[in-house]
């Protein structure tokens, strides 16, 4: 199993739809309880799969275990052992029987014990959390876990205990989990109660019922009648239906599961791969297949031929013949799960890694495909699904960007090549805009630049500190005497790195800035950024700003990276709370507004977010359709505007008309239409900044020159005005401001 694919999938947000509770018991707790309650365990239990009168030893088998590894030998079943036996004997059959033997031993250990059952459910939540599984549907039959005369005397008490454990786990680990109650193939007498319990606990996280533990019921009318009735009753009550089918039984069982049992999803379904009629039905009905790679080998539902006998046992098989590979290649709706992870010695990350290492799929593409399939066909709420999709898209898009970054950086032969992929040039943006006749490429190009250089520094303490130091050096070269630098500490941290969390990031940036300030004689303060689409960070940003105010020179917070939060109440609410909390402690607030969003966002930022300054704000004045009432209100607020001329062109926040097409591209534009010129003419409180100097291929001196060369202002007058305005609007202490004013006065009056 390759480390690269495993690590990639381990970090990915995952959704698991087919995992049996009793096959996912925590091994440490299971062994502890088995030894503790040894005398209470049955000596033997029936094992009808081994013969009519067959039994299997429980107590003596556990008593013989000297340690947990011995215990795993009688309760777990790895794929290597199953395949080895099949190849040695030339026949299959051991896998399913051995699996049933495992369950026969482990079930009595937990049966009838409420505290153990609840803790086991809690432990499954912990397991899923550690594997970054954001949503799980956990299935089980409550009857087989109950024991008359115990603390779990009936099926209802089992569901109550499992539900309690899950609810506790969800709160502690912050994951989502629902339940599926299973009818049992050879236990038709409990199916009606399974349906009723599912209906009763619908409001407490039960979303569906299943028919599991074999496929005899498809052929036996007495069995089928009870199970079908249960499925239809559950469906009538608004629950969903999944059925194990075409795993160890006929491929035709797939059709029966869909048409008679009304299954929306089918567990396993491997046999349809060799039945064109059933395969076509799966494609046409879009029935979702819950696939479990390791399980398929362990149960011998899939028996792959050996083509490389000289290799280790699993490497020797022809994985190209596996039905799951065909399902994915043909675009069937298929998700990946573990089935019984404890029994089969696997984890969901292992299962996904098989798709890359055994089937040869691209990890990024197949991971995204099966995860989106799982999200689309899971039985969470639409709101929850949207949350999972956003997390998956963010991860896979980010991972793809990282891969592209590596390729781009590897292709750079010198600094000029590297600059070309991390810098924007206003000329290129305007050319593209004029060619297309519309805006749109600028913002995307900017995000591409950030996507390249952020991974280079993310999680690297020494690099980030040096970057902070060099920032001071570069500002000093431009004769900048005071700067407020802003960033989001969360996106620069990386778990398991030298920057594992946001606090470490802030301390590192502070160390670099402090060293630079001392060496170059400038003053730098910090602003922490909330992120538009990441409301989960905002409360922490507020707390961090307050915590590090004195020790690190943090003077305020910002809301950056887009303006969707002004339109979506749930996003906005969290950011507003963070801003108001910070403001109540005496810190300051600035908000990006009216840059790529409507002008009204400027007013909202001031009135709702309590912003004293606004980043950009250009849309309060759009020459093509001026809203005088809006403009006058914005002006009356006295809010300071942080204006960035080159950035406004590069991001296409401002699109100036071309009036001199015969001239060089930037000279050809009508700069008189730029909002910044209007703001200065009308005496708004405004300062000039670079936004992201290196990204936009600019410096503060170049930005100030635009005021003279493009807007036509007198250099001394406008230079003094915007610099004094910056000093008035900055969040330095009053004595520092007085010092800055004197320096500026001395310069501009000399």
- Check if the beta carbon of residue 730 is closer than 8 Å to that of residue 686: no
| End-to-end Cα, the chain, rounded Å | 72
d(CA 70, CA 61): 10
Amino acid 446: pLDDT: 76
CA dist 352 and 11 (Å) reads 12
Specify whether the CB–CB gap between 529 and 561 falls below 8 A: yes
Whole-angstrom distance, CA of residue 65 vs CA of residue 63 = 5
- Main-chain phi, psi angles of 634, to 5 degrees: -60, -40
Could you tell me which residues come within 8 angstroms of residue 436 by beta carbon, excluding any fewer than 6 positions away? none
**Which two tokens mark 471?**
């920032």
Q: Residue 207: phi, psi to the nearest 5?
A: -115, -15
211 bridge partner residues = 183, 243
For residue 529, what are its two tokens?
């950024």
Give the orientation angle of helix 27-36 with respect to helix 114-130, to 10 degrees: 160
Stretch 92-100: mean pLDDT: 84
* Encoded tokens for 738: 């007085």
Average pLDDT over residues 487-501: 95
Report the pLDDT value the prediction gives residue 80, as an integer from 0 to 100.
95
Among 60, 74, 78, residue whose Cα is nearest residue 30: 74
CA 566 – CA 608 distance, rounded (Å): 10
Closest CA to 560 of 642, 494, 633: 642
Please count the other Cβ atoms lying within 10 Å of the Cβ belonging to residue 591: 32
Task: Tell me the average pLDDT across 2-19.
Answer: 89
Mean pLDDT of 147-176: 97
> Given pLDDT bands bounded at 50, 70 and 90, which one contains residue 453?
confident
Cβ within 8 Å of residue 361, ≥6 positions away? 325, 328, 355
Residue 1: is its pLDDT beyond 60? no
Q: What is the pLDDT of residue 456?
A: 87
Q: How far apart are CA 211 and CA 188, in angstroms?
A: 10
Answer yes or no: is pLDDT of 461 > 70.
yes
Return all residues near 24 (Cβ < 8 A) that are at least 6 apart.
124, 127, 138, 338, 340, 341, 342
Per residue in 495-532, pLDDT (tens digit) is 889 999 999 999 999 999 999 999 999 999 999 999 99
Please give the average per-residue pLDDT across 443-449, as a whole number: 72
Tell me the CATH architecture of domain 3-391.
Answer: Alpha-Beta Barrel (3.20)
Beta bridge partners of 526: 485, 554
CA distances from residue 221 to 246, 293, 363, 693 in whole angstroms, order as listed? 18, 31, 44, 75
Structural domain boundaries in the chain: 3-391, 464-563
**Which of 212-221, 266-275, 436-445, 489-498 has the least mean pLDDT?**
436-445
What would the mean pLDDT of 424-438 be, rounded to a whole number? 77
User: In 3D, which of 257, 270, 376, 264 has the Cα closest to residue 323?
Assistant: 270
Predicted confidence (pLDDT) at residue 437 exceeds the cutoff of 80: no
Q: What is the mean pLDDT of the chain?
A: 94
Give residue-wise pLDDT tens across range 550-592: 999 999 999 999 999 999 888 999 999 999 999 999 999 999 9
| Phi and psi angles of residue 648, each rounded to the nearest 5 degrees, phi first | -60, -30
Mean pLDDT of 375-379: 98
- On the CB side of 678, how many CA atoms lie within 13 Å of its CA? 17
466 — pLDDT class (breaks 50, 70, 90):
very high
In this model, does residue 320 exceed pLDDT 90?
A: yes
């Amino acid at each position: 199993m390759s480390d690269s694919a495993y690590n990639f999938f381990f970090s990915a947000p995952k959704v698991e739809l087919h995992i049996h509770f009793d096959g996912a018991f925590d091994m440490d707790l299971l062994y502890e309880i088995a030894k503790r309650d040894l005398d209470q365990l049955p000596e033997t239990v029936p094992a009808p799969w081994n013969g009519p009168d067959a039994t299997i030893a429980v107590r003596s088998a556990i008593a013989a275990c000297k340690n947990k590894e011995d215990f795993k030998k009688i309760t777990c079943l790895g794929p290597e052992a199953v395949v080895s036996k099949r190849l040695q004997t030339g026949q299959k059959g051991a896998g399913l029987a051995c699996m049933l033997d495992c369950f026969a031993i482990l079930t009595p250990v937990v049966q009838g014990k409420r505290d153990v059952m609840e803790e086991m459910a809690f432990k499954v939540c912990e397991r899923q959390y550690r594997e970054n599984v954001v949503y799980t549907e956990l299935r089980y039959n409550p009857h087989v876990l109950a024991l008359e005369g115990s603390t779990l005397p009936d099926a209802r008490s089992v569901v109550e205990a499992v539900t309690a454990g899950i609810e506790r786990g969800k709160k502690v680990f912050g994951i989502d989990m629902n339940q599926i109650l299973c009818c049992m193939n050879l236990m038709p007498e409990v199916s009606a109660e399974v349906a009723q319990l599912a209906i009763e606990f619908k409001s407490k996280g039960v979303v569906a019922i299943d028919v599991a533990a074999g496929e005899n019921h498809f052929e036996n009318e007495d069995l089928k009648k009870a199970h079908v009735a249960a499925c239809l009753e559950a469906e009538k009550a608004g629950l969903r239906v999944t059925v194990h089918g075409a795993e160890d039984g006929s491929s035709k069982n797939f059709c029966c599961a869909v048409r008679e049992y009304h299954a929306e999803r089918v567990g396993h379904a491997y046999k349809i791969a060799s039945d064109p009629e059933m395969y076509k039905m799966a494609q046409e009905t879009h029935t979702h297949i819950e696939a479990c790679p390791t399980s398929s080998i362990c149960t011998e539902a899939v028996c792959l031929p050996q083509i490389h006998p000289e290799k280790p046992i699993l490497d020797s098989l022809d994985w190209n013949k596996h039905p799951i590979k065909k399902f994915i290649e043909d675009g069937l709706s298929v998700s990946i799960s573990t089935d019984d992870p404890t029994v089969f010695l696997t984890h969901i990350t292992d299962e996904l890694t098989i798709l890359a290492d055994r089937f040869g799929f691209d990890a990024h593409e197949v991971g995204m495909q099966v995860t989106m399939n799982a999200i689309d066909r899971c039985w969470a709420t639409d709101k929850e699904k949207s949350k999972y999709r956003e997390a998956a898209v963010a991860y896979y898009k980010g991972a793809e960007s990282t891969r592209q970054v590596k390729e781009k950086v590897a292709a750079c032969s010198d600094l000029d090549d590297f600059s070309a992929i991390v810098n924007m040039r206003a000329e290129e943006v305007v050319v593209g805009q004029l060619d297309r006749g519309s805006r749109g490429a600028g913002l995307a190009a900017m995000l591409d630049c950030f996507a390249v250089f952020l991974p280079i520094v993310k999680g690297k303490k020494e690099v980030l500190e040096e970057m902070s130091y060099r920032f001071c050096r570069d500002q000093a070269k431009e004769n900048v005497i005071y700067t407020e630098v802003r960033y989001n500490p969360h996106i620069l941290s990386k778990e398991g790195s030298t920057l594992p969390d946001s606090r470490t990031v802030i301390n590192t940036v502070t160390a670099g800035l402090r060293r630079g300030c001392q060496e170059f004689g400038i003053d730098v303060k910090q602003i922490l950024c909330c992120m538009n689409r990441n409301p989960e960070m905002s409360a922490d940003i507020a707390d961090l700003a307050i915590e590090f105010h004195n020790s690190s020179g943090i003077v305020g917070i910002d809301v950056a990276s887009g303006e969707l939060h002004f339109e979506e109440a749930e996003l906005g609410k969290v950011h507003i709370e963070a801003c108001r909390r910070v403001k109540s402690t005496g810190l300051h607030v600035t908000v990006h507004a009216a840059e790529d969003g409507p002008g009204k966002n400027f007013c909202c930022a001031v009135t709702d977010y309590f912003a004293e300054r606004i980043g950009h704000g250009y849309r309060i004045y759009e020459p093509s359709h001026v809203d005088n009432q809006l403009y006058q209100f914005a002006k009356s607020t006295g809010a300071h505007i942080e204006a960035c001329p080159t950035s406004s062109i590069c991001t296409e926040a401002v699109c100036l008309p071309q009036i001199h097409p015969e001239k060089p591209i930037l000279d050809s534009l009508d700069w008189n239409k730029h909002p910044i010129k209007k703001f200065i003419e009308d005496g708004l409180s405004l300062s000039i900044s670079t936004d992201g100097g290196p990204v936009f291929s600019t410096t503060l001196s170049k930005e100030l020159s635009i005021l003279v060369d493009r807007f036509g202002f007198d250099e001394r007058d406008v230079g003094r005005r915007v610099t004094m305005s910056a000093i008035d609007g900055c969040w330095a202490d009053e004595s520092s401001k007085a010092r800055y004013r004197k320096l500026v006065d001395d310069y501009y009056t000399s």
